[in-house]
Amino acid sequence: MDRRSFLRKAGLAGAGASAAALATPAIAQGNQTWRMVTTWPKNFPGLGVGAQRLADRITAASDGRLTVQVYSAGELVPPLQSLDAVIDGSAEMSHGAAYYWQNKSPALSFFTGVPYGMTSREMAAWVRYMGGQEIWDEIYDQFGVQGFLSGDTGTQAGGWFREELTGLDSVKGLRFRTPGLGGRVWEKLGATVTNMAAGEIFQALQSGTLDAAEFVGPYNDLALGFYQVAKNYYFPSFVEPGLATELVVNKSKYQELPSDLQAIVKDVCQAEYDQVASDFYANDPRALKTLVDEHGVNVRQFPDDIVEAGAKAAAEILGELRDSGDALTKKTTESFIESLNILRTRTEGTDGAFVEARKKYFSI
């Protein structure tokens, strides 16, 4: 699928909304219609499709008592204003990534992903079983909303670069689209970092406004067409090891729902976390094969000095957050670090050792 075809099918709308879209949600005979705004283009592989599937599953599981209408990026509000729409009441739900809102609280980045941090399994373990959800609830309580993990991409690609990276000096002054704490790592390495929504990245790369960009990985990047303007594709990302998406709901409206509808929203989000992760795991390698075989993309690994400097920068950033004056950011950082140090013993000592043995000794 080329980019023009994808965006044409996606039918990205402008920021303006019709009067019908802005109307008060219908409530009749106990049934409710909630609006979900997203940061993703319509029908976007993995993420946009996942948001729509989540909405459809809530609608079906509730037998229509809670119907969720999805508004893709720009249809109701600009993509990076999705959370604000839930806070101000323009929508009841948003589907995006918590690190997009780090300007509201640096602690929110932890609930998307941390450089050299948790994989998708580790993230779910922390949030579900090691106190992460309770801390997340504290952070979002300040804004009258509640967040749930709603998907995970797994370890992402490192990004698309116009020029091959020969070492750390190649990063100096590089204009790079990458968000969250990972963006702060790249800034420490010397890049000039910006964030922008998925639908804006291609044009910025094509015009030369950006020298490099990362979004997720092959499954999404093939649809976005980055291969048309940059051929150097770096793997793996060391700043996005297991990136989670979120569903955010208006907390007061959520608490007004009957208990079974609250459970449906929560349980569907948990199911979709695993569904989206499986979608990416299955389709990333197939999309990468297409990028290499049909579009001549060069798959590369980051030079060692970049990877090492990135690890040092990531540790510095976590130290800065732990020592920050914000109590919730400090609490989140300490919980994350403590949990990571427990979870990595399983990931590295058991899973990692098995993968190395399979790679070395097993072939069929």
Q: pLDDT tens digit string along 189-209?
A: 999 999 999 989 999 999 999
**pLDDT > 70 fraction of the chain, expressed in percent and rounded:** 92
Residue 20 pLDDT greater than 90, yes or no:
no
User: What CATH number has the domain spanning 159-240+286-322?
Assistant: 3.40.190.10
Q: pLDDT tens digit string along 321-364?
A: 999 889 999 999 999 999 999 999 999 999 999 999 999 999 99
- Report CA-CA distances (Å) from 197 to 20, 181, 294, 315: 25, 17, 26, 27
Task: Answer whether 0.85 is exceeded by the pTM.
Answer: yes
Q: pLDDT tens digit string along 214-238?
A: 999 999 999 999 999 999 999 999 9
Q: pLDDT tens digit string along 54-110?
A: 999 999 999 999 999 999 999 999 999 999 999 999 999 999 999 999 999 999 999
Residues 139 and 200: beta-carbon distance below 8 Å = no
Largest CA distance in the chain: 65
Q: What are phi and psi of 67, to 5 degrees?
A: -95, 130
- The identity of residue 220, as a single letter, is N
Q: pLDDT tens digit string along 107-155?
A: 999 999 999 999 999 999 999 999 999 999 999 999 999 999 999 999 9
Tokens of 155: 């370890």
**Rounded distance, CA 151 to CA 274, Å?**
6
Residues 75 and 107: beta-carbon distance below 8 Å = no
Tokens of 135: 């801390």
- Over the chain, what is the mean pLDDT? 93
For residue 307, the model assigns a pLDDT of 98
Tokens of 238: 């060391």
| Residue 29, annotated as binding a ligand | no
| Residue 177, annotated as binding a ligand | yes
| Residue 214, annotated as binding a ligand | yes
| Residue 134, annotated as binding a ligand | no
- The identity of residue 51, as a single letter, is A
| Residue 240, annotated as binding a ligand | yes
3-155+243-282 and 159-240+286-322, same CATH topology = yes
Where are the domains positioned within the chain? Answer: 3-155+243-282, 159-240+286-322
Residue 167 pLDDT class (50, 70, 90 cuts)? very high
Beta bridge partners, 228, equal: none
State the architecture of 3-155+243-282 in CATH terms.
Answer: 3-Layer(aba) Sandwich (3.40)
